């Protein structure tokens, strides 16, 4: 242990954690029912069959912490020096629900519940709107309500919705609402869809260990190559886990993408206005959730720029005081560290 963790900026910056999860009881009961009925996909069955039912220490403590937006969470923030937490409904939110009325209700009630806690602790909590992309027009309205009435500062979507990706034109109302509010979209992992999960599940690698990252990396890449940022040049998309490995891949992605576009091999791969690296540097924001590792953090700052990397803890899934200290101890200038821990979040969430 290198130093004590305190809130209040004793090291020259506040700590704003940007990918922090909560759950509602209704949400967990809904997943449990779907798992029991056999109506959940393989990913929800794997993820929530575990967290909602396993007697293991990991599952029981995480479930208890997800359900708390009160005393315990604030104490854990105090104990690890977290000044403010950007909260979002845990994955996959309302996205697996096939009954639209039920999906809208679950999302709306989660937003109202979060808004109450954010209002009660405005100095500690920041909220993101949850939506039900299976109803894109309703989701657009909920994004406006979140921004205008609930004081939320961004929108979180838990990657694919029943196997569909946000580059599909039907989701356009969501992007129009994001543009109208000027809010960022956080694409958070969820279990890969049935069409992708097979060989991952077989090896026990479908979750946060690997499957999450691969699936969100694909999602972001699909959005970029479909031209989302040519259509919405002001849109900012956030992803966690050090950019879900895209910064590390970017040289090869750009090389092969350009070669493929030139060859006209796929009708869906059209020329873009910029390189994919340029989009990462103008429209993508990356958080350090789950990746408290100096080489990866400094590499990503170098690739996308120090204004585009933000601290995240991923409470309660990855709650370790020593990971906060890793960020504090980074061998980077204080001004850069302040951007990482505080001011980039203030800028991009418009706090
Ligand atoms: C896990 C990890 C679950 C993350 C999450 O939400 C999550 C996990 C259901 O470990 O199973 O948000 N994460 O972002 O790393
Ligand atoms: Mn997370």
pLDDT tens track for 55-93: 999 999 999 999 999 999 999 999 999 999 999 999 999
Report if residue 34 sits inside a domain.
Answer: no
CA distance 325 to 105: 40
d(CA 201, CA 274): 36
**Least distant ligand from the CA of 58:** 1
Distance 22 CA to ligand 2 centre (A): 10
The domain that holds 313 is classified in CATH as: 3.20.20.140
CA-nearest residue, atom 2 of ligand 1: 208
Contact 118, 183 (CB under 8 A): no
Q: Which of 77, 98, 61, 94 is nearest to 6 (CA)?
A: 77
> Closest Cα to atom 6, ligand 1: which residue?
91
Q: Which atom of ligand 1 is nearest to the CA of 92?
A: 9
Number of domains in the chain: 1
Q: How many CB atoms lie within 10 A of CB 36?
A: 12
pLDDT in tens, the chain (351 residues): 799 999 999 999 999 999 999 999 999 999 999 999 999 999 999 999 999 999 999 999 999 999 999 999 999 999 999 999 999 999 999 999 999 999 999 999 999 999 999 999 999 999 999 999 999 999 999 999 999 999 999 999 999 999 999 999 999 999 999 999 999 999 999 999 999 999 999 999 999 999 999 999 999 999 999 999 999 999 999 999 999 999 999 999 999 999 999 999 999 999 999 999 999 999 999 999 999 999 999 999 999 999 999 999 999 999 999 999 999 999 999 999 999 999 999 999 999
Question: CA 152, 153, 158, 159 torsion: positive or negative?
Answer: positive
Domain presence at residue 44: no
List Cα–Cα distances, 25 to 13, 199, 311, in angstroms: 35, 31, 28
Q: Where do the DSSP E strands lie in the chain?
A: 16-22, 84-89, 125-130, 154-157, 185-187, 237-239, 284-287, 309-310
Closest CA to 227 of 288, 260, 166, 272: 272
- Is position 73 within any domain? no
109 in Cβ contact with 24 (< 8 Å): yes
Asked if residue 68 is part of any domain, the answer here is no
Distance from Cα 52 to the centre of ligand 1, integer Å: 13
CB 289 within 8 A of CB 318: yes
pTM, entire model: 0.98
CB 91 within 8 A of CB 190: yes
Contacts (Cβ under 8 Å, ≥6 apart) of 276:
221, 224, 225, 250, 253, 254, 257
50 is a domain residue = no
Ligand 1 neighbours, Cβ below 6 Å, are 21, 47, 90-91, 189, 207-208, 240, 289-290, 314, 317
CA atoms of 73 and 229, how far apart (whole Å) = 36
Q: Is residue 120 assigned to a domain?
A: yes
Chain segment 278-287, per-residue pLDDT in tens: 999 999 999 9
**Domain limits at 191?**
16-23+80-348
DSSP string, 132-161: -TTSHHHHHHHHHHHHHTS---EEEE-S-B
Residue 56: burial class (beta carbons within 10 Å; 0-12, 13-18, 19+): exposed
Contact 74, 325 (CB under 8 A): no
């Amino acid at each position: 242990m290198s130093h004590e963790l305190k809130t209040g900026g004793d090291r020259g910056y506040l700590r704003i954690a940007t990918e922090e999860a909560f759950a509602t009881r209704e949400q967990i009961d809904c997943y449990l029912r779907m798992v029991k009925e056999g109506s959940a996909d393989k990913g929800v069955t794997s993820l929530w069959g575990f967290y909602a039912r396993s007697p293991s220490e990991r599952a029981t403590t995480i479930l208890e912490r997800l359900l708390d937006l009160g005393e315990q969470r604030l104490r854990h923030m105090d104990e690890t020096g977290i000044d403010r937490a950007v909260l979002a409904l845990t994955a996959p939110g309302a996205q697996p629900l096939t009954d639209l009325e039920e999906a809208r209700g679950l999302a709306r009630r989660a937003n109202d519940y979060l808004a109450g806690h954010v209002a009660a602790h405005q100095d500690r909590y920041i909220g993101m709107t949850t939506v039900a992309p299976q109803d894109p027009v309703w989701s657009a309205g909920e994004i406006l309500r979140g921004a205008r009435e609930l004081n939320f500062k961004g929108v979180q979507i838990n990657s694919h919705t029943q196997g569909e990706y946000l580059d599909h034109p039907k989701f356009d109302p969501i992007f129009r609402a994001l543009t109208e509010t000027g809010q960022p979209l956080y694409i958070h992992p969820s279990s890969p869809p049935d069409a992708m999960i097979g060989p991952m599940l077989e090896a026990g690698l479908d979750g946060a260990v690997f499957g999450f990252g691969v699936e969100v990396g694909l999602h972001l890449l699909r959005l970029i190559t479909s031209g989302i940022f040519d259509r919405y040049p002001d849109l900012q998309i956030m992803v966690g886990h050090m950019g879900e490995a895209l910064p590390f891949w970017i040289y090869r992605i750009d090389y092969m993408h350009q070669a493929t576009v030139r060859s006209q091999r796929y009708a869906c791969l059209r020329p873009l206005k910029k390189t994919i690296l340029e989009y990462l540097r103008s429209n993508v924001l990356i958080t350090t959730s789950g990746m408290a590792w100096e080489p990866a953090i400094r590499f990503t700052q170098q690739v996308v720029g120090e204004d585009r990397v933000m601290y995240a803890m991923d409470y309660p899934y990855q709650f370790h005081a020593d990971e906060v200290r890793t960020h504090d101890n980074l061998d980077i200038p204080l001004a850069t560290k302040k951007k990482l821990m505080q001011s980039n979040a203030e800028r991009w969430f418009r706090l």
